[in-house]
Amino acid sequence: MTTTQFDTIIDNIGQLLTMDHGDGPLKGGAMNSLPVLENAALAIKDGLVAWIGTHEDAQSMKATERIDAEGKLVSPGLVDPHTHLVFGGSREHEMALKQQGVPYLEILKRGGGILSTVGATREASEEELLTKARFHLNRMISYGVTTVEAKSGYGLDRQTELKQLKVAKQLNETHPAEIVSTFLGAHAIPPEFKGRSDEFLQEMLDLLNDIEKEQLAEFVDIFCETGVFSVEQSRQFLKAAKEKGFSVKIHADEIHPLGGTEMATEIGATSGDHLVGASDKGIAALGATDTIAVLLPGTSFYLNKGKFANARGMLEAGAAVALSTDFNPGSSPTENLQFIMNLASLQLKMTPEEIWNAVTVNSAYAINRGDSAGKLIKGRKADIVLWDVPNYHYVPYHYGVNHTNTVMKDGCIIYR
C-alpha cells in the first residue's frame, strides 16, 4: 500500500480507456482491440499519471483533490492530427456558391476558396491571428482535444507563412494545449506565381532554412491535387524537405484520384491525409508500410460529394488509420472531433474500438507524438477527458452535442 500524497485522484471510473497497447501505431485488425479497465481509479502527481488501479484500492489513498467520475467514461485527451488552425477571416459567403453546385476547386480557380483566406490572412496582424486561433483552439479543447497539429498555408509568401507559424509557436508556448506545427506553404499557387508553380515551390523550399533555424515547424505538407501541385512536384518537394530533416505529410487523393497515396508511402511520409480517392494499389501500400492514413470524413461530409475514404479497405489491408477534423475555413469548418467520430461510425463503418484508437494512439503517431500523447499509462502526461457518457460506445453514437464533462492537460483542468 502506497503512502504517496497524490495531487488528484479520479475515482469511480466506469470505464477507463488506457490505450495501453504497447509501442507503435495500431494497424489493421489490431485497431479493433481496446484496453478498458472497469471500476477503475487513476492518480495524478506533478502533471503525470502516477497510479492506475481499482476503485477499491483508491479508497485508502491520499490526494489533495478527489474527482468522482460517477461511474462514467474516462479517456486520454484526444489528438487532432490535421488542422488549419491559424487563418484570417471566414468563408460563409461561399455557401451560396456551394449550394448552386459550384465545385470546391472551381471556387479556388476563380480566386476564392483557399486564396480568399490567403488574402484575409495576409491582411491580419499577428495579434489578430493569435486571438482568433486561440478562440478556435479553446473550442477544440472543449470537445476533448489536448494535442493539435496546426498547418500554415494561408500566406503563400515568406512573411505571412512565417507569421502563421509564429502564431502557432506562441500558442504552443502560452496555451496549455500542445501544438505541433506543419509548414504548408505549398497549399495553393498564389496569383503572383500563376503559371509558375515550380518557381513557387522553390521559393517555399528556400523558406525551410528560416523555419528550421527558428524551429517553427516539424512537418512539411503539400496539397497534391488537380490544378494545384502534381504527384511529381509533390514527390520532389517532400523529398527535398525530408533531406532538410523535416518529417512529411501530404494532402493526397482528396478530390481526384491522382496516386498521391502510393507516392506518400514510397517516400516514407509519416501520414497521407484525406485519401478519399486512394487506389487499390495505394491502399495495399498503406498496409505494407508505416505511413498512417489520416482520414477526414468531416471534409467529405462538407464537400458533399457523396464519397468517403475506404476505411474498411484500408483496415483490411492492414493500414494504421487515424481520424481528424481537418478544421479549416473552407472544406471543414468544425472544431468538433466528436462529430468526426460519429461520421467515422456512420460513413466509414469503423467500430467504436477502431474509432477510439484512431483519435488517440494512431493520431498521436501521425504527428510524431506516439511516445508522449494518446495513452493513459504510468509516467505519461495526465491529459485526460472525463465524459458524461455511460460507456465508450456512446460517443460515436449520440451526435451533434458535446459529451465532455472535464478536460485536463498535464494534470490541470483546462475545461469544465
Quote the least distance from Cβ 159 to ligand NIG, whole Å.
Answer: 19
- Judged by CB under 6 A, the residue of 262, 326, 335, 353 near ligand NIG is 326
Q: Is 249 in the site for ligand NIG (CB under 6 A)?
A: no
Q: Which stretch binds ligand NIG (CB under 6 A): 52-60, 109-117, 157-165, 403-411?
A: 109-117
Residue 223: name its binding partner from Fe ion, ligand NIG, none (Cβ under 5 to 8 Å by kind). ligand NIG
258 to 297, contacts with Fe ion by CB under 5 A? none
Q: Under rule CB under 6 A, which residues in 268-287 are in contact with ligand NIG?
A: none
User: CA 244 to CA 354: how far, in whole Å?
Assistant: 35
Which residue sits closest to ligand NIG, CB atoms considered?
A: 330
Residue 8 or 299 with smaller CB distance to ligand NIG: 299
Rule CB under 6 A: choose which of 253, 254, 335, 353 binds ligand NIG: 254
**How far is CA 351 from each of CA 26, 34, 160, 214, 397, rounded to the nearest angstrom?**
14, 11, 41, 42, 11
Residue 197 to residues 122, 227, 333: CA-CA distances in angstroms?
20, 10, 28
Cβ closest to ligand NIG, residue 298 vs residue 411: 298
Cβ distance to ligand NIG smaller for residue 45 or 256 = 256
Nearest CB to Fe ion, comparing residues 115 and 414: 115
Rounded to whole angstroms, the Cα distance separating 79 from 381 reads: 13
Which one, 254 or 262, has the nearer CB to ligand NIG? Answer: 254
Tell me the C-alpha distance between 148 and 171, whole Å.
11
- Contacting ligand NIG (CB under 6 A), which of 143, 223, 229, 308? 223
Q: Which among 65, 162, 179 has a CA at the least distance from the CA of 121?
A: 162
**Nearer to Fe ion (CB atom), residue 80 or residue 326:** 326
Give dist(CA 179, CA 148) in Å, integer: 5
User: What DSSP state is assigned to residue 29?
Assistant: G
Between 69 and 275, CB nearer to Fe ion: 275
Smallest gap, in angstroms, from Cβ of residue 151 to ligand NIG? 8
**How do strand 36-45 and strand 145-151 relate by DSSP bridges?**
unpaired
Name the DSSP letter for residue 400: S
Answer yes or no whether residue 415 interacts with ligand NIG by CB under 6 A. no
- Name the segment binding Fe ion (CB under 5 A); options: 102-110, 126-134, 175-183, 323-331: 323-331
254 binds Fe ion (CB under 5 A): no
Between strands 5-17 and 73-76, the pairing is parallel
Binding flag, residue 161, ligand NIG (CB under 6 A): no
- The whole-angstrom separation of Cα 229 and Cα 242 is 18
| Distance separating alpha carbons of residues 161 and 210, to the nearest angstrom | 11
Q: Which stretch in 6-14, 256-264, 324-332, 365-373 sits in contact with Fe ion by CB under 5 A? A: 324-332
80 belongs to the binding site for ligand NIG (CB under 6 A): no
* CA dihedral for 376, 4, 14, 68, sign (positive or negative): negative
Residue type, 300: S
| Whole-angstrom distance, CA of residue 183 vs CA of residue 207 | 10
234 vs 299 by CB, closer to ligand NIG: 299
326 contacts Fe ion (rule: CB under 5 A): yes
How many whole angstroms separate alpha carbon 281 and alpha carbon 226?
A: 20
